[in-house]
Amino acid sequence: MLELSTESWMAILFFIALCIWCITTFLFGRISVKHIQSEMAKEGIAPPVWDKGIGTIIVTYSLIMVFPKLNPIIIDFEAVRRHTRKKDKKLALLYVASSAIIFIIGVTIYYSYISDS
């Protein structure tokens, strides 16, 4: 029988978390961000100038949806909340959770390799 080491398990977990993060990033960007930006465009609210294709708006929108007391001044957070649907909130929660999980696993792997050296 094949015996896996702790490093192998961590690599497998990191790969699974990375795949889940990629899927949630794609879905949140294509479903929620696209919907919110199209609804904001109907109101005449232009997309942020600082987000020219690098995708940081995904992080900003998801944090606004997950943390209701967060009020960033770089975008119109009231318009984002006004156009957020229930499925957008669920996708944002999945995106933030998968981002946190992949960050925690990555930091754990990094520090485990440093302590071995």
Average pLDDT, the chain: 89
DSSP letter at 57 equals H
Higher pLDDT, 94 or 46: 94
Neighbouring C-beta atoms of residue 10, cutoff 10 Å = 17
pLDDT over 90 at 26, yes or no: yes
Is the sign of the CA dihedral 31, 77, 75, 25 positive or negative?
Answer: negative
**45-84 tens-digit pLDDT:** 888 877 777 778 899 999 999 998 888 888 888 899 999 9
pLDDT over 80 at 115, yes or no: no
pLDDT over 80 at 10, yes or no: yes
Question: If you compute the radius of gyration of the chain from its CA atoms, what whole number of angstroms results?
Answer: 18
pLDDT over 80 at 1, yes or no: no
